[in-house]
Structure 1
């Protein structure tokens, strides 16, 4: 992934929230670039722009919900660190690693690129995430910009939006994939 140009449509609505350059800054509780995706609130805290294309940092908050469809990121390594709550995470490398794990407060999971995964929040939960630089704005590409500080409501993107974001951010949705539970 590379730094997004200033006119990238996934960045423009958020101009001025993050410095867009590797400069020191502080965000207060609830601040950042926020998008509602389904019933989850994603907040980008640090992007490829600030880290010279090294990584991006985000949080995800939500309540008990449906399982997010199986998908894989072709170029993105991703982590889940549960700040508070409980989330089920499915991972399958389509070779010899297959797992369904319930992560609770303080637990950590690593999903390398090309591993099929999905998750389901089991109650009020906040997850800290880190991924390969640039991927953090995937959530903006499929979500709806918001000023919420807690997840509220539901935003369901059109399938064409999901497909376009998947192409841009090297993500393949696999709704027919069957995990070994």
Structure 2
């Protein structure tokens, strides 16, 4: 499922950074729609607006930190490709696959829709993510906009309220599972 015109949020603070339609464009290093979520920078490079709802592309940059809580995307597929550093990824499809792995630079993880997952940056990392079209702006709904590239400094960290997390989850098809525990988290 991708967001259609009736479910997309209104104007956002990043309007105009990406073209918003399927047309060729370039971004230089550090450019894109940027938001800080907790202690991590999410930079959206491409959205469903530019791909006719097919996919989104984004990066995640952060230092070693806490586990991102278990959650599930009922409609969204997501990939993790670690460019630098290390990221611990936990997954449970509740159909027999339950595993976790520390992904080092060059490693890849695929999280199909409907799979409970969580991750933790183990050492300063940059991750390239791809998701089903219309999902990437979840990070904006969950975080706070910034124009600064790179890993946020402690003074720039942003902790969303529970209400903000719930609203972002409802809008972008993310169900947080605070009750769920992976074996070693």
Q: What CA deviation, in whole Å up to 9, does each residue of 1:76-122 have, x standing for no partner?
A: 00000001110000001122111110000000000000100000001
The Cα shift of 1:144 comes to 0.2
What TM-score comes out, normalization by structure 2 length?
A: 0.93
The Cα shift of 1:137 comes to 0.4
**2:180 alignment partner in structure 1:** 177
SS of residue paired to 1:13: coil
**1:47 alignment partner in structure 2:** 47
SS of residue paired to 1:135: coil
SS of residue paired to 1:12: coil
Q: Which runs of 4+ in 1 moved over 6 A?
A: none
The Cα shift of 1:4 comes to 5.0
Q: What CA deviation, in whole Å up to 9, does each residue of 1:115-174 have, x standing for no partner?
A: 000000011100000000000100000000001211213100010011011111111000
Q: Distance in 1 between matches of 2:137 and 2:82?
A: 20
* Aligned positions of 1:138-177 closer than 5 A: 138-152=138-152, 153-177=156-180
SS of residue paired to 2:180: coil
Q: Distance in 1 between matches of 2:147 and 2:97?
A: 39
- The size of the alignment, in residue pairs, is 179
Q: Distance in 2 between matches of 1:89 and 1:61?
A: 15
Are 1:103 and 2:106 matched, yes or no? no
The Cα shift of 1:61 comes to 0.3
**2:83 alignment partner in structure 1:** 83
SS of residue paired to 1:85: strand
Higher mean C-alpha deviation, range 152-161 or range 100-109: 152-161
Q: Distance in 2 between matches of 1:26 and 1:64?
A: 30
Given that 1:83 and 1:127 are in contact with CA atoms closer than 8 Å, whether structure 2 keeps it comes out as yes
What TM-score comes out, normalization by structure 1 length?
A: 0.95
**2:56 alignment partner in structure 1:** 56
Given that 1:54 and 1:133 are in contact with CA atoms closer than 8 Å, whether structure 2 keeps it comes out as yes
